[in-house]
Structure formats: C-alpha cells, structure tokens
Amino acid sequence: MSEVPRTRFGYVDTAAGQLRYREAGAGVPVLLLHWMPGSSAQYSAVIEAFAAEGFRAIAPDLPGCGVSFRRSGHWSIGDFADNLIEAFAGWQFERGIVVGGHLSSEIAIEIALRRPERVALAVLDGTPVWDAELRASILSSATPKPIEVRADGEHLAGLWEQLCAEIRIWRPNEPWSPELGAYAMQLLKARMLADFDRRPARALLEYDIFGGLAALSEARVPVLALAAADDPLQNCHEAVLSRVAGATGHRFPGEHPVHRRATAAIYIAPILERWRALAEGGR
C-alpha cells in the first residue's frame, strides 16, 4: 500500500503580509482557493487526493482568513487575485490548475485574466452569476452589524446558530455526530480568526461577473465549471457554460463531494479527466 502524501504547512511573503498555506505532493501545481468565510482546512483531504495522483496541491488561507494576515480596509476581487499572483514566486507556481469555489471562483477568474499564461486550467466550482439588480439588492443588506464581544461567550450563540443552518444546506439528512460537530467547530474557528469579517461578501457582490466571464472567454483559458445538486449556486451552472467559449461542465449528484474526506477522490475526478484531455491536445 502506497504511503499517503504528507501535508506540510508554510508561509509565503507578500507586500501586504504573510499567507499561510498547506501543500502536499510534487508535480503540476494545483492552487485551491477556499470558499469564504473559511480556510484552507476545507481542502485537507482534497490536497492529499491530488498529491496521490502526482500533483502538487497548494491551498492558502486567503487574506483575512485562517491564520493569514489580516486585511486592512476593503479588498476587491482584483486585490485578492493580485495578492495571490504575487505569492506565485514564493510557491514556484509557473503554470498549473487554479480551483476556486463560490466567491473564490471570481478570484480564479481574475487570476486567469491577469496571468493567462500561468493558468493551464481554471476550475470554477459554483459561480455566482447574478445580475446587477440582484447583486445590488443583496449588497444593501450585506453589511453586518458590529459584534459586541462578551465575556460569557453569548455573542457566539447567533454565529453558531447560523453555522448550523448553513451546514444543513450541505448535509440536510445527516444525523448530528462528533464528526459533524468537529466540522461545525472548524467553521466557527475560521470565522473567529477572520474577526467575524464578512467584507468579502461585498467584494463578491461588487464584481462584474458577466464582464469577467466574457473576458475569460476571449482569453481562451480552458475552463471547467463544477456544480452539485445541493449547492445553492447550482442554478448558475449553465450560465457559466453559455458565456465561456469552450468551457466544459460537470455536475455532482446530491451532496457536494468537497465537504467529505471519503468523497475527495470523487471531487477531483472530473478535474483530472479534463486535465488529461488537455494534455492529450484537447480543448
């Protein structure tokens, strides 16, 4: 039985501060951008799955998330993309796969537009293709009220309730268990480390996704769009495919496989299939 590639932790310097990241394996690099709010812990099993297939998987805690540096002021999607591109040198990321989910799918688009020669395949996992009216409507209520930290921890009750409701979106029929509780605690920790920062929602809502997809089509960067039946953004899947020339798509039935260690191999399978097709000369 082959040894499971060991995940390593490191820091890479950028002008804005240090990014903490996880990595494993060697070979073609795969940059994994976690959903927000959250951290690179989302991809713990996926990193190992890619490494076992002969890839070098890199998953950073995005600025303001996990234990990476705290952002100062508001960051646009372009700001996130520029910061990660700056980190390419430290990671020795010359050309490879960039995977982004939800808000991070927009960051992946901007990385591909700014450095198309470095992105051999852009994987967009649930992309919020929302028109300007819907984005403006959500943005009007997206600014959170300041949280008053209390010594008795009562300020965490509302956050915990929100997290549990979100978990039920992804795992609607799973009984509560120690494993599920540990997953909820992981999310809670990520949000606490991010100083309850929900400003990334503003970046997502301000981004011109239609313009981004149109430019991505013109840039002719290969695109794989992913969707899962239980993902609230699955209804945007066809919108991505129709707006990016040559894009291919894959739908996962039922629960999104990125959330479980047991289904990590299922998650990476369509990415590997698309990569191999490109390597054989396909588009």
Q: Chunked in runs of 10, what are the mean pLDDT values of the chain (283 residues)? A: 78 96 97 88 94 97 87 89 98 97 95 98 95 76 62 79 67 74 73 56 86 95 95 92 96 90 95 95 64
15 within 8 A of 85, measured Cβ to Cβ: no
Q: Which secondary structure element, helix H or strand E, spans residue 228, and what is its range? A: strand 223-228
User: Is 187 within a domain?
Assistant: no
User: Is 228 within a domain?
Assistant: yes
User: Is 23 within a domain?
Assistant: yes
244 within 8 A of 213, measured Cβ to Cβ: yes
Cβ neighbour number for residue 198 with a 10 Å cutoff = 14
* Distance, CA of 231 to CA of 253 (rounded, Å): 10
User: Is 167 within a domain?
Assistant: no
Q: What is the pLDDT of residue 146?
A: 56
Q: What is the pLDDT of residue 4?
A: 67
Structurally, the chain folds into a number of domains equal to 1
Helix axes 77-91, 199-206, angle to 10 degrees: 100
For residue 45, report the phi and psi dihedrals to the nearest 5 degrees: -75, -35
For residue 210, report the phi and psi dihedrals to the nearest 5 degrees: -65, -45
Q: List helix spans (H) across 126-263.
A: 132-139, 155-170, 178-193, 199-206, 209-219, 237-243
Q: Containing domain of residue 49, as a range?
A: 8-140+200-279
Cis peptide leading into 5, omega within 30 of 0? no
Q: What is the pLDDT of residue 57?
A: 98
pTM score of the predicted model: 0.84
- Which residues lie below 8 Å from residue 184, measured CB to CB, with a gap of 6+? 160, 163, 164, 167
Cβ neighbour number for residue 52 with a 10 Å cutoff = 18
Q: What is the pLDDT of residue 198?
A: 54
User: Is 253 within a domain?
Assistant: yes
* Distance, CA of 155 to CA of 97 (rounded, Å): 40
User: Is 175 within a domain?
Assistant: no
Q: Is 59 helix (H, G, I), strand (E, B) or coil?
A: strand
103 within 8 A of 200, measured Cβ to Cβ: yes
Helix axes 199-206, 103-114, angle to 10 degrees: 60
- The domain spanning residue 89 has which CATH number? 3.40.50.1820
User: Is 189 within a domain?
Assistant: no
Question: CA dihedral in degrees (35, 41, 44, 47; nearest 10)?
Answer: 60
* Distance, CA of 15 to CA of 13 (rounded, Å): 7
Q: What is the pLDDT of residue 1?
A: 42
User: Is 146 within a domain?
Assistant: no
Q: What is the pLDDT of residue 200?
A: 63
19 within 8 A of 4, measured Cβ to Cβ: no
